[in-house]
Structures are given as C-alpha cells and as structure tokens.
A and B are shown apart, each in its own frame.
Chain A
Amino acid sequence: GNSVTQMEGPVTLSEEAFLTINCTYTATGYPSLFWYVQYPGEGLQLLLKATKADDKGSNKGFEATYRKETTSFHLEKGSVQVSDSAVYFCALSSSGYSTLTFGKGTMLLVSP
C-alpha cells in the first residue's frame, strides 16, 4: 500500500535560516506528490505539488523536487520567516485518484 514518511519535529530555526524537511514515499504506479501546510488555527492548504518525476513544485519561496530514483520529495526554503511557523504535511495520491495518503506532519517553529 501507499505510505509517506517524513522527519519528526519540531524543527526549530532562527529567521533567515535554511530549511529542509525530508519526505520519502512508497507507492504503486506513478503518484502525484504534495506538500500541505497547516497554519495555527487554520485548515490544511496546498503549498506545492509535483505530478511526475523530476518536476519541481514551488510556491512562496518553498521548493520540492520529485525524485523517483530515491522516492523522495524533500521540502526546502532558503530563508525562513517567523510567518512560516506551521505544520507541514507531505502527501501522495495514486494516479487518477485524489484520496491522499499523508505523512504524520512536521512542525516548524521559526524564532526572530
């Protein structure tokens, strides 16, 4: 079956530091990959996605590259801000279906 593994948090960084949150997956076929973010008191929202191997998703300064050879989709940002503090979820969906399989989430805390 499908599964997603992401690094445990919390990840604590100072403002302007470099961020990496690791995500690896197991899936049949050719899944689409996603990062969702949950800000405090808000619902999950899509941050970025990639639908095929070597695609790079990007949004709000965040990037992730779909690596089929390593079954990974690591999230990166060059310079984090306090407003990036949130819980980040890596997820996948199998071809043609939108039932998402989520990782456990990684909390990011950014201090001034």
Chain B
Amino acid sequence: GAGVSQSPRYKVAKRGQDVALRCDPISGHVSLFWYQQALGQGPEFLTYFQNEAQLDKSGLPSDRFFAERPEGSVSTLKIQRTQQEDSAVYLCASNNRVLGRNTGELFFGEGSRLTVL
C-alpha cells in the first residue's frame, strides 16, 4: 500500500479482555517498529522486527504484551488481560533499512487508539 496501515483505528476493551492490533507496513519494508504513546506523551519504543525476526523487545512493559511478524510483512501486537494503564495509542512504523544502517527515518501509521474501561 501507499502507507503504513493500522487497524482497528479505535478499540474499546473491558479490563481483562485480550486485544490484537494489526499493522500492515509499506510493501518491501524490512524493519518494523511498535511504539506506545500515552496521552500527552511522546511515543515510547516497544519492539522491533527485522523481517520476521524480533530483534529487540526491550520496551514491552510486561509479559502480557506479545508481538509477531511471522512472514516478515504484517505484524500483530497482542495485549492479554488488558489493564487500564494499557490505554494509549499504539503506533506502528516501518522503513527499508536494516539494523546497523538505520538512520531513524520512520514511516508511521495513524495508530490504534486503545481504551480500557
């Protein structure tokens, strides 16, 4: 596609529910990132994929958060047993650079806004 596509754009979940957020990066982009943006804050790094390999998951806040990119294109961020503090916008970004030669120019999707009641 022309840009990074994320779905759903808005998700309301009851506390304790599981949610799955999808990211469709720009075609051919090797690197894919997930960020979490709380209200009034800047995005914070969650995890990074190079093709299908998850090379960095140091930003995932707990073991309730899980991300995958099984075929090196579409990625899913799953949050189990959601809590109120998980309420945030989840941003996906991609580019065609590999780790070690990456300059930080990322193409972002519009984000998925998660509200946990």
A22 within 8 A of B: no
- Interface segment, B12-20, B67-75, B77-85, B108-116? B108-116
Total cross-chain contacts (CB, 8 A):
75
Given the complex, which residues of A lie within 8 Å of B44, measured CB to CB?
102
Return chain B residues, CB-CB under 8 Å to A44. Answer: 43, 91, 93, 106, 108
A104–B37 CA distance with the chains assembled, in angstroms: 10
Interface size class for chain A? 20 to 34
Q: For the complex, what is the distance from the CA of A79 to the CA of B104, rounded to whole Å?
A: 28
Complex: chain B residue closest to A4, CB-CB = B42
Nearest B residue to A38 via CB reads B108
Question: How many angstroms from the CA of A103 to the CA of B104 in the assembled complex?
Answer: 15
Query: Which residues in chain B, 89-113, are within 8 Å of chain A measured between CB atoms?
Result: 91, 93, 95, 97, 99-111
Question: Does the CB pair A46–B56 fall under 8 Å?
Answer: no
Known A-B contacts A43-B4, A46-B105, A89-B42; the reply to A99 vs B100 at CB < 8 A is no
Partner of A98, one of B4, B31, B43, B109: B31
- Asked if B43 contacts A100 (CB within 8 A), the reply is yes
Quick check: B99 and A96 within 8 Å, CB to CB? yes
Chain B, Cβ-Cβ closest to A8: B40
Q: Measured between alpha carbons, how far is A61 from B84 in the docked complex, in Å? A: 41
A91 to chain B, nearest CB (A): 7
Contact A46 B99 (CB under 8 A): no
Q: Is the CB of A49 within 8 A of B111?
A: no
Chain A residues within an 8 Å CB radius of B111: 43
What's the minimum C-beta distance from B5 to chain A, rounded to whole angstroms? 10
Q: A44-B93, A45-B108, A91-B104 are in contact. List 12 more A-B contacts (CB 8 A).
A: A4-B42, A42-B110, A43-B91, A46-B106, A89-B42, A91-B42, A96-B99, A96-B101, A96-B102, A99-B33, A101-B45, A105-B40
